[in-house]
Amino acid sequence: MRQPPSLQEHRPANFGGLWLALCATVFMTTACTDRKTPSDDRWSGSGELIAMSGGEGGARYACATCHGVRGEGNGYDAPRLAGLPAGYLQKQMEDYATGLRPHEVMRDVARFLDSHERVRVANHYAALPPQAVSPATDETIAAATPGLYARACQQCHGVDGVGTVNGPPLNAQPAFYLTQQLQDWQVSKRRNDGNHVMLKVAQQLDAAQIRQLGLYLARIPPRPASPDR
Ligand code: HEC
Ligand code: HEC
C-alpha cells in the first residue's frame, strides 16, 4: 500500500476518532483512500506507463516485454492486445487475477495491478491501432476451413474474425495462441466464458480443425472491428 509513511508515524495514539475525522476531510484523496480514485495519477501511472514499466510489479511485468511495444504480440504464445475491446481486455485481467483463466505469469501480472490500473492499461491497448506480428505461412490451410469458421464461429466472432459484441476479435492472433486457447477450453482449463459457450464449441472440434482454424485466423490481417460491434 502507498500510505505515506510520515502520516502513519505521526498518528496520535489516543485520538482515533479525531484522526479519522481529520483524515476523512483533509486527506481524502491521499492517505485514507488507498489510491483508489481514478484520477489519482500520482500513485499509479497512466495505462501507457504500466504497459512500458509493469506498474508496481516492476520491469519483469512490463506488458511490452511479451506483448510488444505496439501491443502486437510475440507471434507465438502472447497475443496481440492492440485494438482489442477495452471491456474484453479488462475482463481477462480480472479472470487471470481470480484464476478463472489460469496462467501463472498473467496471474501475477494482473494481481500486481488494482482494478483502476487494469482499466487504464486496457484502455491504453484498446486505443492502439490493431497491429500484429506477421504470421508464418509455411503450412497450408485446408479448403474447408473458411467454411467451418463461417458456420461455427462467425456468428459471435464476426466476418473475418474482427469480433462482435458476443465474442472478441480473433483475426491476426498468433496461431499457437489460438490453438492453445481452444485446447484449454476442451479440457475446461480456461473457464471464463459465460454459459460455457466456448467449452461447448471447442469440444466439437478435433485437433486438426483446431490447428487449421488457428492458422486461418492468424493470417487475416489486423484491422479494427466493424462499427456495429
Ligand atoms: C512475461 C510475459 C508477459 C507479460 C510481462 C505480460 N503478459 Fe499478458 N500474456 C502473456 C501470455 C503468454 C498470455 C497468454 C496466456 C494464456 O494462454 O491465457 C497473455 C495474455 C494476456 C491477455 C489475454 C488477451 C486475450 O486475447 O485474451 C491480456 C489481456 C494480457 N495478457 C494483458 C497483459 C498486460 C496488460 C500486461 C502488463 C501489465 C501483460 N499482459 C504482461 C504474457 C505476458
Ligand atoms: C455463441 C458465441 C460463440 C461462438 C459460436 C464461438 N465463440 Fe469463441 N468466444 C466467445 C466468447 C464470449 C469468448 C470470450 C470469453 C471470455 O470472456 O474470455 C470467446 C473467445 C474465443 C477465443 C479466445 C480469444 C482470446 O483472445 O483469448 C477463441 C480462440 C475462440 N473464441 C475461438 C472460437 C472459434 C474457433 C469458434 C468456432 C469454432 C468460436 N470461438 C465460436 C463466443 C463464441
**How far is 95 from 226, CA to CA, in rounded Å?**
26
* φ/ψ (deg, to 5) at 102: -80, 125
Say what the pLDDT of residue 225 is: 61
Does residue 63 contact residue 81 with C-beta atoms inside 8 Å? yes
Q: What is the dihedral of CA 198, 204, 208, 211, to 10 degrees?
A: -10
For residue 210, which atom of ligand 2 is closest to its CA? 35
Does residue 72 contact residue 80 with C-beta atoms inside 8 Å? yes
Closest ligand to C-alpha of residue 198 is: 2
Say what the pLDDT of residue 44 is: 46
pLDDT along the chain (229 residues), means of 10: 41 43 40 41 69 85 96 98 97 97 96 94 96 94 97 98 96 98 97 95 98 98 67
At 187, list the grid cell: 479440457
**How far is 131 from 143, CA to CA, in rounded Å?**
26
**How far is 35 from 161, CA to CA, in rounded Å?**
38
- CB of residue 103 inside a 6 A radius of ligand 1: yes
Say what the pLDDT of residue 182 is: 98
- CB of residue 79 inside a 6 A radius of ligand 1: yes
- Of 96, 89, 97, nearest to 123 by C-alpha is 89
CA of 207 to the centre of ligand 1 (A): 24
At 132, list the grid cell: 500484429
**How far is 2 from 5, CA to CA, in rounded Å?**
8
